[in-house]
């Protein structure tokens, strides 16, 4: 079993998905909920075990079907990918728990789809094969399409229609990019690709460049990078909040793929094509940050607000990816985990607040007071401080770190003002939203509006996410060590040899 540990984060969600379709889970609600939460917890534990193993014995390469790279498909578990797998599994567990309060019954197959989504995301994180990456992208996409329609209304259908069509085009572009890369490099294993790219001659270089840039289109669409971000606000704001919280990881899949492709394949050692996408990434990222900040100020309801916060975080991450230094990448890794947790928490929070404000829902206007002001208020305060990036929570460490990492760049004088102004916009947007929602009451709490209270499992889920902020700050020391280790691995070109030699 232990030598197959690398495979568990993919196997378990798939098993879960299948089992939950079979009797008794297929029919019995209670058992389905229980099994689903349990299985997602197991997935998380397995991922954690994998993480520890990687920490102990270094990068793990798992050749599926015993066909070693570059011929077969290999899974590559390095500190970065395992960290993200853990994050995904945690998020999956939390959302399963949260949904078990009733959201899961607002449509069919919630849990199987949830596990299939985790399957897709984990697969995308772990696989070392370009085409296999495509397959897992499709897995997570098709799962997300269905989840998006979960308990949906009209607005939902429209958003889903846009989301699906855009992503279908994206998949087509992905295939073309892969075709070009295979047609030039004659291989699909990413490590092997990296090796072959360095040896390219003549016009093949430009073909490979086209392939690489088309991949950027795909990842930018998935990661919501300007100008391909337009689908995100509506999609996330109309999706059921628990689904949106789950989606918090999906933009990160795009960012992660950028990290892999543009530091591994088109990174330091890519000969003619070294850092070919860097300036694109950088400027698009900056534009994205600005756009997100504007969106934050423009948002009229909490979920839109959070969706725009997601956009800002994506921009920040991509900017760091574009810097292409170990320090920047490590900052990105820390910030990635932080932003995923906190945005997910905020989505759930927006849901709970909305439920307690009746008709007003989560709109940022004067309305009836929430029935649990202290609980929700404190949670919002914590999450807000974290997402604004103020002390004492994880956000400020991320902020300090990324500013530090972007200090001695050519364009620091562009990035810093932009980023700081964006932070100010977020500060203003979030604090205004908070004080309006919690303090600005139009009507006294009416008896007719029946007192919805937070369901225990919802509360636990929320607390797990929110506690991430203080914990990430307290344990910032070890975490920063881990992040820097992971970043060093990411930038270490020798890993390619390791992968191709099957992990020895």
Joined tokens for residue 394: 């994880």
**Secondary structure letter of residue 62 according to DSSP:** E
| Binding residue count for other proteins, defined by CB under 8 A | 128
Residue number, 14 or 59, with CB nearest to other proteins? 14
Q: Which of 271, 268, 260 is nearest to 218 (CA)?
A: 260
Reported as type and span, the H/E element at residue 75 is strand 74-77
Neighbouring CB atoms inside 10 A of 283's CB total 15
Q: Does 160 bind other proteins (CB under 8 A)?
A: yes
Using CB under 8 A, pick the residue from 16, 91, 114, 119 that binds other proteins.
119
- Minimum distance from CB of 263 to other proteins (Å)? 19
CA distances from 272 to 104, 119, 200, 497 (A): 51, 36, 8, 21
- CB of residue 283 to other proteins, shortest distance in Å: 13
Instruction: Tally DSSP H helices, then E strands, for the chain.
Output: 20, 2
| 427 is an interface residue for other proteins by CB under 8 A | yes
Single residue of 101, 126, 337, 397 touching other proteins by CB under 8 A: 397
Backbone angles phi, psi at 99, to 5 degrees: -70, -25
178 near other proteins (CB under 8 A)? yes
Long-range own/partner contacts, residues 430-434 (CB < 8 A, 24 or more apart): 430/296, 430/305, 430/384, 430/387, 430/388, 431/384, 431/388, 432/364, 433/299, 433/302, 433/305, 433/364, 434/380, 434/381, 434/384
Q: Which is nearer to other proteins, 299 or 340 (CB)?
A: 299
CA 295 from centre of chain:
19
Among 295, 354, 358, 468, binds other proteins (CB under 8 A): 295
Asked if residue 501 binds other proteins (CB under 8 A), the reply is no
Nearest residue (CB) to other proteins, 161 versus 456: 161
* 481 is an interface residue for other proteins by CB under 8 A: yes
The one among 38, 52, 169, 378 contacting other proteins by CB under 8 A = 169
Residues 330-389 that bind other proteins (CB under 8 A): 385
CA distances from 69 to 58, 188, 260, 498 (A): 18, 9, 17, 10
List the one residue out of 216, 282, 219 whose CA is nearest residue 254: 219
Q: Does 219 bind other proteins (CB under 8 A)?
A: no
DSSP 60: E
* Cis bond before residue 141 (omega within 30° of 0): no
- Decide whether 446 or 488 has the Cβ nearer to other proteins: 488
Which of residues 179, 446, 488, 497 is near other proteins by CB under 8 A?
179
- Listed ranges 50-58, 257-265, 312-320, 474-482: which one lies at the site for other proteins (CB under 8 A): 474-482
Stretch that binds other proteins, among 201-209, 335-343, 457-465, 487-495 (CB under 8 A): 201-209
Query: How far apart are CB 24 and other proteins at their closest, in Å?
Result: 12
In what helix (H) or strand (E) does residue 77 lie, and over which residues does it extend? strand 74-77
Does position 254 bind other proteins by CB under 8 A?
Answer: no
431 lies in the binding site for other proteins (CB under 8 A)? yes
Whose structure tokens read 């205004």?
Answer: 432
Nearest residue to 99 via CA among 467, 462, 466, 360: 462
Does 312 participate in binding other proteins (rule CB under 8 A)?
Answer: no
Q: Rounded to whole angstroms, how far apart are CA atoms 349 and 106?
A: 19
Report in angstroms the alpha-carbon separations of 424 from 284, 297, 411: 21, 10, 20
Q: Least Å distance between CB 44 and other proteins?
A: 20
For residues 335 and 313, the answer to whether their CB atoms sit within 8 Å is: yes
> Which of 48, 176, 460, 464 contacts other proteins by CB under 8 A?
176
Q: Is 191 in the site for other proteins (CB under 8 A)?
A: no
Q: Does 142 bind other proteins (CB under 8 A)?
A: yes
Two tokens, residue 34: 């229980």
Q: In terms of CB distance, is 117 or 461 closer to other proteins? A: 117
Please say whether the beta carbons of 222 and 170 come within 8 A.
Answer: yes
**Minimum CB distance to other proteins smaller for 21 or for 38:** 21
Which of 32, 33, 209, 357 is the binder for other proteins (CB under 8 A)? 209
Please check whether residue 180 is in contact with residue 247, taking contact to mean a CB–CB distance below 8 angstroms: no
Q: Is 109 in the site for other proteins (CB under 8 A)?
A: yes
HSE of 366 in the Cβ direction (CA atoms, 13 Å)? Answer: 5
From the list 41-49, 91-99, 212-220, 317-325, the region that binds other proteins by CB under 8 A is 212-220
By CB under 8 A, which span of 337-345, 349-357, 401-409, 444-452 interacts with other proteins?
A: 401-409
Place of tokens 């989504």: 117
38, 52, 378, 420: residue in contact with other proteins (rule CB under 8 A): 420
With respect to other proteins, which residue has the nearer C-beta, 86 or 159?
159
CB of 464 to other proteins, least distance (A): 23
Applying CB under 8 A, which part among 88-96, 164-172, 244-252, 447-455 lies near other proteins? 164-172
Site for other proteins in 37-96 (CB under 8 A): 62-67, 70-73
Judged by CB under 8 A, which stretch of 33-41, 343-351, 460-468, 477-485 contacts other proteins?
Answer: 477-485
Rounded least distance, CB 210 to other proteins, Å: 5
């Amino acid at each position: 079993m232990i030598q197959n540990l690398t495979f568990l984060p993919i196997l378990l969600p798939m098993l879960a998905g299948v089992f939950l379709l079979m009797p008794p889970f297929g029919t019995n609600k209670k058992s389905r909920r229980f099994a689903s939460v349990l299985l997602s917890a197991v997935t998380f534990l397995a991922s954690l075990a994998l993480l520890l193993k990687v920490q102990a014995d270094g990068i793990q390469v798992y050749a599926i079907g015993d066909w070693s790279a570059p011929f077969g498909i290999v899974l590559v578990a390095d500190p970065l990918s395992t960290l993200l797998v853990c994050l995904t599994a945690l998020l999956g567990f939390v959302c399963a728990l949260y949904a078990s309060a009733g959201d899961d019954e607002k449509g069919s197959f919630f849990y199987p789809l949830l596990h299939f989504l985790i399957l897709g995301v984990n697969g995308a994180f772990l696989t070392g094969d370009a085409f296999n990456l495509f397959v897992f992208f499709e897995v997570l996409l098709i799962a997300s399409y269905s989840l998006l329609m979960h308990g949906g209304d009209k607005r939902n259908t429209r958003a889903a229609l846009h989301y699906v069509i855009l992503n279908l085009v994206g998949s087509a572009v992905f295939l073309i990019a892969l075709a070009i890369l295979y047609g030039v490099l004659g291989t699909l294993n990413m490590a092997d690709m990296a090796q072959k790219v360095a040896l390219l001659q003549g016009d093949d270089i430009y073909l490979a460049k086209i392939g690489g840039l088309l991949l950027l289109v795909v990842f930018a669409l998935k990661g919501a990078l300007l100008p391909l971000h337009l689908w995100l606000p509506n999609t996330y704001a109309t999706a059921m909040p628990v689904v949106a919280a789950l989606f918090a990881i999906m933009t990160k899949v795009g960012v992660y793929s950028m990290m892999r492709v543009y530091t591994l394949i088109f990174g330091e050692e890519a000969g003619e094509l070294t850092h070919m996408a860097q300036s694109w990434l950088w400027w698009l990222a900056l534009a994205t940050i600005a756009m997100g900040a504007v969106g934050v100020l423009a948002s009229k309801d909490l979920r839109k607000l959070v969706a725009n916060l997601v956009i800002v975080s994506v921009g920040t991450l991509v900017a760091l990816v574009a810097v292409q230094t170990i320090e920047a990448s490590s900052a990105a890794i820390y910030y990635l985990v932080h932003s995923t947790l906190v945005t997910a928490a905020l989505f759930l929070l927006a849901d709970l607040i909305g439920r307690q404000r009746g008709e007003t829902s989560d709109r940022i206007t004067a309305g009836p007071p929430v029935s649990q002001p202290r609980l929700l208020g404190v949670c919002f305060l914590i999450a807000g401080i974290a997402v604004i990036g103020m002390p004492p929570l994880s956000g400020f460490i991320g902020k300090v770190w990324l500013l530090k990492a972007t200090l001695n760049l050519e364009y620091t004088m562009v990035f810093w003002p932009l980023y700081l102004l964006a932070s100010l916009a977020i500060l203003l947007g979030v604090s205004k939203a908070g004080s309006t929602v919690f303090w600005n009451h139009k009507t006294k709490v009416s008896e007719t509006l029946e007192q919805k209270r937070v369901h225990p499992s919802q509360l636990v889920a929320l607390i797990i996410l929110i506690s991430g902020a203080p914990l990430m700050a307290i344990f910032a020391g070890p975490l920063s060590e881990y992040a820097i280790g992971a970043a060093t691995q990411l930038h270490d070109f020798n890993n390619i040899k390791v992968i191709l030699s099957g992990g020895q």
